[in-house]
Amino acid sequence: MTTMLLDRVAAYAEAVRSHLADLGPEIADELTDGLEADLAEELADRSIDGAETADDTVLLDLARVFGPAGEYALELRSAAGHAPVPSARRLRRTPVRDAARSTWRLWEAWGRRLVARVAALPGGGWLVETVPLLRPVWWLVRGWVWFVLLMVLTGGTLGAGRLAPFAPDSFVAWALLIAAAVVSIEHGRGRWAERRRIGGLLVAGQALAVLAVVPLAAAAWTSATQAHYYPVYASAGSDPVAAPQDGVVVGGMYVSNLFVYDAQGNPLHDVQIVDDRGRPVRTVTDGSDSVWSLPGVADPWQFAPVVDASGRDRWNVYPLSGAPAGEWTWDAASGAPVLVPGASLQQPPAPFGAAEALVGTGVGGSVAAAPPGGADGTVPDAPSATGSQAASEAPATPSEPTAPSGAPAQSPSPSGP
C-alpha cells in the first residue's frame, strides 16, 4: 500500500474520530485504536477484488468506499454500546461552542502531527508508547490540583494548617483529596463520558488543571522548602511568653531585674542567681543595649553587667544596676554601650525597701510571717551592707543567696530607698 493511501486511511480514521469527540478523547481513542490497520487491509482486499477500486480516484475519496465518516462513526459507537445518536441538545451550536470545538480540533491535529514527528525520531517510538502509560500519573496529579483549588476556594475552612492548601492536614481535607483523586481517576477511565453535564464540568476541570498545575506545583515547592524555617510556635502570634527564650517571666511578662531580701526582709545586693543546673539566670538576655520600662519611672532604663574578678561580664548578679537610657551612648571604637561622661551606674528603684520578715526559718521547716511590726517599712541595719556582708549576715534561708568569695569586682554603690 502506498504512503499516499496510508495518508488517506489516516485522514479517514481521523474524520471518524472527530465524530466520536463527544465521547471524550479516551473512549474515542479506544474505539478507533487499530482502525487504520483494519481500513488499510480492507482497502487492499477490495482493490484485489477490483470491484470498487477500478478507478484510482475512488481511492482518494475513502468515503465512497466506507461510507461517510459520520455514518461509520455512528455504526461504530452504537455497536460499542455508546449513545448512538447525539441528542438534539448536544448538537445545538453556539458560537462559543463552535469556536471551542474548532480550537480543540486544531490542537488535537497539531498534537497528532507532533506525536507522529516524535515517533519518527530515534527512540521516539519508545517515548510515544511509554508516555500514554503515564496517564494514571496525570490523573492523580489532576486530582491533587482539584483538591488544592477547592482548598483555596473554601478559604481555609477545610483546614488551615501549616501544609494548607497544598497538603491535607485535617480529616475533611484528607477526605477531599481522596474524593478528588477518585473522581479524576474515574473520569480518566471514561466513567462519565456520556453524561453530558458532568462531562462538561470535568472537561472544564481538566482545562483548569492543565493551566493550574505548573503554578501550583511551583507554589507547593516553595511552601515545602520554606516550611523548615517556620517557627513551631508561629500560631502563638505576638505573645512573647509563647516563644521559649531566655529571660525571667513573671505574670506573663518579662522582668528586667530581680530584688532579693533576706529572712529579716532586708535587701541583699550583688546576689548571684543560678538555676537548678548551675546556669546563670539572666533577665537581660540580648546584651546590655536593651531598654526597659520600670514601673513608676518615666525614663526607660538600660542595664550593665557586673565584671567579675577574671574580667568577665556577669549578668546574673542582682539587682542589676544601670542608668536611664538617656545617659548611655556608644563607644566609638567598640560600638559597645557606655555611659556619657558624668553619669554613673545606679541601682534602679527597688519595689520596696524591705520585705516582710520571716520567722521560724529552718525550724521544723515551716515558714511563717513575722508579726506586723517587722514589716512596717523600716529598714533594720540594711542598705549600707555590701552584698557579701549581707549574705554572710543572713541566717540560713531556703535559697541561701550567698555570694562566693571571688565575687563582684565592681560593687555598685547601694542606693537606699
Taking CB under 8 A as the rule, does residue 358 contact other proteins?
no
Residue 44 or residue 214: which is nearer to other proteins going by CB?
A: 44
Taking CB under 8 A as the rule, does residue 52 contact other proteins?
no
Taking CB under 8 A as the rule, does residue 38 contact other proteins?
yes
Q: Quickly list DSSP for 42-66.
A: HHHHHHHHTSS-SSHHHHH-THHHH
Q: Is 263 helix (H, G, I), strand (E, B) or coil?
A: coil
CB of 76 to other proteins, least distance (A): 4
Residue 10 or residue 345: which is nearer to other proteins going by CB?
A: 10
CB of 125 to other proteins, least distance (A): 9
CB of 13 to other proteins, least distance (A): 9
Residue 45 or residue 276: which is nearer to other proteins going by CB?
A: 45
Residue 1 or residue 182: which is nearer to other proteins going by CB?
A: 1
Taking CB under 8 A as the rule, does residue 192 contact other proteins?
no
Indicate which single residue of 63, 79, 100, 396 sits in contact with other proteins (rule: CB under 8 A).
Answer: 79
Report the sign of the C-alpha dihedral through residues 10, 15, 19, 25, in that order.
Answer: positive
Taking CB under 8 A as the rule, does residue 41 contact other proteins?
yes
Taking CB under 8 A as the rule, does residue 36 contact other proteins?
yes
Residue (of 147, 153, 149, 139) closest to 172 by Cα position = 147
Taking CB under 8 A as the rule, does residue 75 contact other proteins?
yes
CA angle 191, 145, 136 (to 5 degrees): 45
CB of 45 to other proteins, least distance (A): 7
Stretch that binds other proteins, among 66-74, 138-146, 266-274, 288-296 (CB under 8 A): 66-74
Taking CB under 8 A as the rule, does residue 251 contact other proteins?
no
Q: Rounded distance, CA 137 to CA 144, Å? A: 11
Taking CB under 8 A as the rule, does residue 186 contact other proteins?
no
Indicate which single residue of 4, 11, 37, 85 sits in contact with other proteins (rule: CB under 8 A).
Answer: 37
Helix axes 35-49, 3-18, angle to 10 degrees: 130
Q: Rounded distance, CA 91 to CA 72, Å? A: 18
Distances, alpha carbon 397 to alpha carbons 84, 313, 349, in Å:
99, 27, 24
Stretch that binds other proteins, among 79-87, 277-285, 348-356, 391-399 (CB under 8 A): 79-87
CB of 111 to other proteins, least distance (A): 17
Of residues 374-393, those binding other proteins (CB under 8 A):
none
Peptide bond into 122 cis (omega under 30): no
Q: Rounded distance, CA 361 to CA 399, Å? A: 11
Taking CB under 8 A as the rule, does residue 182 contact other proteins?
no
Taking CB under 8 A as the rule, does residue 14 contact other proteins?
no
Q: Quickly list DSSP for 267-326.
A: EE-SEE-B-TTSPBP-S--S-TT-EEPPTT-SS-EEEEPEE-TTS-EES-EESPEEEEGG
Is residue 3 within 8 A of residue 59, CB to CB? The reply is no
Helix axes 196-226, 171-188, angle to 10 degrees: 130
**Residue 160 has which C-alpha cell?**
488551615
Indicate which single residue of 8, 17, 19, 35 sits in contact with other proteins (rule: CB under 8 A).
Answer: 35
Residue 68 or residue 287: which is nearer to other proteins going by CB?
A: 68
Distances, alpha carbon 392 to alpha carbons 199, 395, 404, 406, in Å:
89, 8, 10, 14
| Interface positions with other proteins (CB under 8 A) | 1, 6, 9-10, 30-31, 33-42, 45, 66, 72-73, 75-81
